[in-house]
Amino acid sequence: MNVHAPALANAHLPDQQTTAFAQDVVADLAQHPKRLSPKYFYDATGSDLFEAITRLPEYYPTRTELGILRDRGEEIAAIMPEHAALIEFGAGATTKVRLLLQTCKFAAYVPVDISGDFLNAQADALRRDFPDLAVHPVTADFTTQFKLPDAVREMPKVGFFPGSTIGNFEPHEACRFLRSARDILGAGALMIVGADLEKDERILHHAYNDAEGVTARFNLNLLVRINRELGGNFDLSGFIHRAIYNREHHRIEMHLVSRKPQTVRLLGTSFAFRAGESIHTENSYKYSIERFGALARGSGWKVRTTWTDAAKMFSVHALVAEG
């Protein structure tokens, strides 16, 4: 009997996504060092925990970026083409895009996200609040070459990639993503990208090791999800959250560290852990304005304007796609 069948059958994901999750987890835990992809943090509980993180006093990125978008609203609106389509790569909470939609007059909004249900619920709410806006959600992995809806084909395009989600990518992946976005949006398109900045390491440390332990729960929820959806038997008390700043690579690394020698089983495979052995679950790259500019230029974009908050904690860049 396949003891894992019930877990898979109960999964709340479409089969294809569950299969990708299963394949990635089994392959990534077989690596040395072990790792897991941060893209799997965001099940329902993980999305709620991330929302809680964005409200923590220590987690400055979300409120700082919102402050920049609010304070620079007029400047941003001034460079937007008329009757343009706003294409958002990945769609979480709508707080930031609502700000843009209020200050700039877009003809259409195209949120692109892998989670179709969430996307459609969001689209309905936006249609209610912005009756003149054409909302065309696209269910796709935004890192792939998805197709834009025909309805926006003739409109000027503006990409939107807030939140420093770009920091989750390795530099070569960030380059590949920006090139792909350039190909999808076309020459002359604009793109608004948020990128977290390098800063005092103590500030970074507290942002990813908050006093309430919300980030720890967010990290550990990945194991909860594996247990539920893939029939894993991770003992949650056997792992601790660790976030450290890697100075050489300019990134925060999140890890789940095994407190003891232990063996975990999932999908018919065993994974042995030494005491102190870690699973690397996330990189969150921090950019200098210069390094972000170099990344953009090396990926087919020109930096039109860069905005930061007064304390230079976070940056928002307006990029223009080269011909």
Contact positions vs ligand AVJ (CB under 6 A):
53, 61, 163-165, 167-168, 208, 215, 282, 284
Closer to ligand AVJ by Cβ: residue 209 or 262: 209
**In angstroms, what is the minimal distance from the CB of 269 to ligand AVJ?**
27
List Cα–Cα distances, 144 to 113, 178, 319, in angstroms. 11, 11, 20
Nearest distance in Å: CB 291, ligand AVJ? 17
CB of 218 to ligand AVJ, least distance (A): 6
Which letter, b or e, does each residue of 7-31 get, where b requires 16 or more Cβ atoms within 10 Å of its Cβ? bbeebeeeeebbebbbeebeebbee
Smaller CB distance to ligand AVJ: residue 55 or 274? 55
Q: Which is nearer to ligand AVJ, 209 or 227 (CB)?
A: 209
> Three-class SS of residue 46?
helix
Residue of minimal CB distance from ligand AVJ?
Answer: 284
Q: Which is nearer to ligand AVJ, 209 or 306 (CB)?
A: 209
Rounded CA-CA distance 169/142 in Å is: 13
Which segments of 80-200 does DSSP mark as H helices, in order?
A: 95-103, 116-129, 171-185
Q: How far is the CB of 318 from ligand AVJ (least distance, A)?
A: 19
Our CB check for ligand AVJ shows the closer of 136 and 291 to be: 291
CB atoms within 10 A of CB 165: 21
Closer to ligand AVJ by CB, 62 or 258: give it.
62
Q: Residue 216 Cβ, how far from ligand AVJ at the closest point, in Å? A: 10
Q: Is 211 left (phi over 0), alpha (psi -120 to 50) or beta?
A: alpha
Residue 106 or residue 142: which is nearer to ligand AVJ going by CB?
A: 142
Shortest gap between Cβ of 207 and ligand AVJ (angstroms)? Answer: 7
DSSP structure string for 173-239: HHHHHHHHHHHHH-TT-EEEEEEEBP--HHHHHHHHS-TT-HHHHHHHHHHHHHHHHH-----GGGE
Least distance CB 63 / ligand AVJ (angstroms): 13
**Cα–Cα–Cα angle for 72, 75, 79, rounded to 5 degrees:** 135
Do 266 and 233 contact (CB within 8 A), yes or no? yes
Residues 91 and 86: their CA atoms lie apart, in Å, by 12
